Amino acid sequence: IAPARCRPADAQEQYNYAFGLLRQGDYGDAEQAFAEFVRLNAADPLAGNAQYWLGETYYVRKDWEKAATTFLNGYQKYPKGNKAPDSLVKLGMTLTNLNQKPEACSAFGQFAKEFPQAPVALKQLAQTERGRAGCK
């Protein structure tokens, strides 16, 4: 976390700061910045996105347990957020990595049922990952 005197002032600046760390591949600091953003700005329109990207910081470091919990929380807290479909797909992928295939298939099924209008690329990813998980 940046020292208080350097810390971004408003929610948008905080989000941009955290996202910048993520883009630089500084996943540890991005994790801290996104976690702080969610803690301080839970009602902000960007909170769902921040929760998703927090999950990504765990996912890229193969911390499957924290990633699964974070993606699930993001989907549950922000079910209408623009990252809700992504959170469900990533939850399924994470559960596959945890060898929790039935739960992964459930997440992919929920995604297909709830988000038929999701972007084509996300639907294709979900379909590919369903196959990887051995879903019927």
Residues 13, 17: Cα–Cα separation, whole Å = 6
Q: What is the pLDDT at residue 8? A: 60
CA-wise closest residue to 106 among 116, 97, 96: 96
Report pLDDT digits (tens) over 11-51: 999 999 999 999 999 999 999 999 999 999 999 999 999 99
Residues 39, 118: Cα–Cα separation, whole Å = 28
CA-wise closest residue to 104 among 135, 62, 73: 135
Whole-number CA gyration radius for the chain: 15
Mean pLDDT over the full length of the chain:
94
